[in-house]
Amino acid sequence: MSDKRKIVLTGANGFLGSHLVDRLLKEEVDIHCIVRKSSNLKWLEGKNITLHTCGLEDIPAMSEVFENVDYIFHLAGTVAALKYEDYLYGNVDLTRNVFEATLPHAAKIKNIVVTSSLAVGGPSDVQNKLNEADGFNPVSLYGKAKVEQEKMCGDYSEKLPITIVRPSVISGEREVELFEFIQTVNQGLVPLVGFGEKYVGIIHVSDLVEAMYQLALCEKAVGQAYYLSSEEIISWKDLAEICAKKLRKKPFVLRLPHFVIYLAGVLASLAGRMRGKATTFDFEKAKEGVQKAWICDVSKAKEDFGFRQTVSIREGVEQAIDWYKENKWL
C-alpha cells in the first residue's frame, strides 16, 4: 500500500478540475479521478493519475474508489440545464451519491471539499460585498440548486467532514465561459448590459486551486463555507478595454437595455428546448447578467487559511488570451 496521501476528485476532466489535478501533481500524493465512460479526457491525458470510469451514479463502485482516501474534491456539477429538475439532479442528487459512497470510510477522511458557487448568495452592490454571514439570495435556477446542495451538505455534516467553496467568475487557460466575452471583443463588439456600470470579481484559476488545496488541509475550515474571488473588482467596460488592448482591437461598444437581455434569454431558452440541449446563455443567465454586481468579501478565507490573490485580473485575462491564441481558440 502506498504511503502517499490518497486524493479523489470528481469533475477532474473539466476546466477547474484539470487545473486542480495539475496543482496536486506538485505534491507527493496519489490522485484518483472519477469520470464517466463518455467523459472527454483531453485535459487529463498523459498525467500520473488513476482514472475510474464508474461515474457518480454507481455508489458501490464509488465506495471502492474511496477506500483509504484522505481528501475528496467534489467539483462535478450541472451548470446549464433545460429544467430545474436537471439542476437538482446534477448538483444535489449526485452529491448525495458521493456522500453515501464515502460514509463507510468516514473515519479515514480528513476533508471533503465541495464546489458551490457565488450564485448562492446572489448579486450585491459595490459598497456591500457578499460575505459568509449573509443568507442565501439566488436569482437563477442554478443558484437555487446550489443552495439545495449546500443545505444537503449540512445534513451530512455530522457524519462527514465537509467544506464548501463558493468561487466567483474564473479566468485562465481552458476556461470557456469568460472566453465567450473575449471572443466577442475579438470579433469587434463589446456588448454591455444596461446603461449603468456592472461589476464583477474574477479569480484566476491558479489562485483558486491553490486556495482549494490549502483549504482542504485546514482543520479550521471543516464545516465552513468560503467565498473565493479576486480581492479587486472590475467593471465589464474596463474588462473589455483590457481585452481589446491585448487583442489589438478597437471594438464597437453596444449597450443593451435589460429588456433586450431578457428577450434574448427567452429566445435562447426556447431554442434550447426545441433542440433538446441546454445552452450556455439562456433566460437564467439573463437574470444573472442584469444584476449590478457579482462580488464578494474574501476576508474569512484570508483569516482562516491564508488566502491571497497573486494574479491580478488584468494578468489573468491577458495570460488566458495568450493561451487562446496559441491553441487556435482565437
- Grid cell in block for residue 215: 483549504
Determine the Cα–Cα distance for residues 94 and 102; give it in Å rounded to an integer. Answer: 13
Is 283 among the domain residues?
no
What's the pLDDT at 280? 87
Is 39 among the domain residues?
yes
Is 213 among the domain residues?
yes
Task: Kindly report the CATH number assigned to the domain that includes residue 73.
Answer: 3.40.50.720
| pTM, two decimal places | 0.96
Residue span of the structural domain in which 110 resides: 5-171+203-231+297-310
Give the chain's domain count: 1
Is 101 among the domain residues?
yes
Q: Is there a contact between 203 and 167 (Cβ–Cβ < 8 Å)?
A: yes
In the chain, which stretches have pLDDT less than 70? 1-2
Ramachandran region, residue 68 (left: φ > 0; alpha: ψ -120 to 50; beta: rest): left
Q: Is there a contact between 124 and 294 (Cβ–Cβ < 8 Å)?
A: yes
Q: What is the DSSP string of 144-194?
A: HHHHHHHHHHHHHTTTS-EEEEEE-EEESTT--HHHHHHHHHHTTEEEEES
What's the pLDDT at 1? 40
pLDDT digits (tens, 9 = 90+) for 83-136: 999 999 999 999 999 999 999 999 999 999 999 999 999 999 998 999 999 999
Is 240 among the domain residues?
no
Q: What are phi and psi of 194, to 5 degrees?
A: 75, 180
Is 188 among the domain residues?
no
Is 212 among the domain residues?
yes
Is 256 among the domain residues?
no
E strands of the chain, at which residues?
5-10, 29-34, 50-52, 71-74, 111-115, 162-167, 169-171, 189-193, 199-200, 202-204, 225-228, 234-235, 252-256, 293-294
